Amino acid sequence: MNKYELAVVVSAKGEEEERNATVDKVKGYIERFGGSITDVEDGGKKKLAYEIQDMKEAYYYFIHFESESSTPIEVENHVRLMEDVIRYLCVRQDEE
C-alpha cells in the first residue's frame, strides 16, 4: 500500500454544509476504490494566487490516505467532474 495526499480546493461560494458534502463525496470515492483514509486536514479559507472562475478565495482540504496505485487515478477521474472542486492534486508521499 502506498501513502497519498489529495489536495482539494473547494469553491467559497457555497455554504459550509455544501463544502462538507463535497469533501465527504471525495472521501467516499477514495473508499469506494479501495483506499483507507488516515487523516483529513482543513486548510481553511485562503486567497488564491490568481482568480479562478471569478473567485479570489477558496477553501483548502488535504486528505491523506493509503491505497494501491490504481486508486488515485480513479479518484481523480471522478473529482475532475465535481462542480464545487476548482482545483485538485494527488501526490504520493515518500516512505520514511
- pLDDT tens for 40-87 read 999 999 999 999 989 999 999 999 999 999 999 999 999 999 999 999
Residue 33 scores a pLDDT above 90: yes
For residues 92, 53, 20, 80, the Cα torsion angle rounded to the nearest 10 degrees is: -40
Distance CA 47, CA 11 (A): 11
Residue 96 scores a pLDDT above 80: no
Distance CA 81, CA 2 (A): 25
Distance CA 69, CA 1 (A): 8
Tell me the average pLDDT of the chain. Answer: 93
Angle at 30 between CA 71 and CA 93, to 5 degrees: 65
